[in-house]
Amino acid sequence: MNLKISLSLCLAAALVSVAGTVNAETAGSLRFGIEAAYPPFESKSPTGQLQGFDIDVGNAVCAKMGVKCVWVENSFDGLIPALQARKFDAINSAMNITAKRKQSIDFTPAIYVVPIVMVAKRGSTLLPDAKSLQGKRVGVLQASSQEDFLKQHWENAGVKIVSYQDQDQVYADLVAGRLDAAVQEAQTAQDGFLDKPAGHDYVIVGEPLKDPATLGEGTGFGMRKGDKALGGKINAALAALKKDGTLSNLSMKYFKRDIIAK
């Protein structure tokens, strides 16, 4: 009798497990984690709607997979812990693929590559190197690959690195004179600051920063380690969108050039 009860309980548990798997597979949605404060990649319109290149890429991936995109907003520095806590299925928030992050999560192959640059006041003699910036204050987005670069290469050389939770706060303090320079992706600097009235007196100075160890090998979706099934579906969708030109067309729409990784 006890054996029969035990077998019945095991069978019931197995059925529940299968049902749970089926429900997960047929839920019909893909949850992306995002911080909507990094135009032109992700931001909000005046009416509060999500907009930007990463949003369009994510929507194209969902359409290719035949699922609905669900966007879960989160601070950038908390995206990896939130992914690991299963608050969403993938990170789609202009996150560079770096060796440090690969210790915690997996990534899709690089989707696009954008140079990392420094912005300073027009006419400034500052250059993006530690010698030129000794004693100066440089703003950067907290938990970004740019922050890793600055802390590793500039901070010990006498450059004051000031980290912010919001990219717009970086620009506000730059204009207010509380910073001497700011480091971020080139297109974000152009669209989010330089092309706006507040950025009129500022320019990109020097050459783009380079360091594969900290700045990475391009930008991709962050995935939980071991999530092979979902990763395979997303990778297949991205590969198809590269092949049919969808991603390059979106790049031309936002940047007037093709930044899609080859």
Query: Between 172 and 20, where is the model more confident?
Result: 172
Residues 20, 94: Cα–Cα separation, whole Å: 32
Average pLDDT taken over every residue of the chain: 90
Least confident of 5-19, 89-103, 123-137: 5-19
Mean pLDDT of the 169-198 span = 96
Mean pLDDT of the 112-135 span = 96
Percent of the chain at pLDDT above 90?
A: 85
CATH topology (fold) of 116-215: D-Maltodextrin-Binding Protein; domain 2 (3.40.190)
Residues 194, 221: Cα–Cα separation, whole Å: 27
Helix (H, G, I), strand (E, B) or coil at 74: coil
* Cα angle for residues 240, 245, 249 (degrees, 5° grid): 130
Least confident of 27-31, 117-121, 202-206: 27-31
Backbone angles phi, psi at 64, to 5 degrees: -65, -35
Residues 185, 171: Cα–Cα separation, whole Å: 13
CATH homologous superfamily of domain 28-113+218-255?
Periplasmic binding protein-like II (3.40.190.10)
The residue ranges of every structural domain in the chain are 28-113+218-255, 116-215
Residue environment code for 13-27, b if the CB has 16+ CB neighbours within 10 A, otherwise e: eeeeeeeeeeeeeee
| pLDDT exceeds cutoff 80 at 11 | no
> Is 118:183 a contact under the CB 8 Å cutoff?
yes
Residue 198 tokens read as 């507040």
Residues 175, 184: Cα–Cα separation, whole Å: 16
Task: Report the helix count and the strand count for the chain, using DSSP H and E.
Answer: 10, 12
Say whether 116-215 and 28-113+218-255 share the same fold: yes
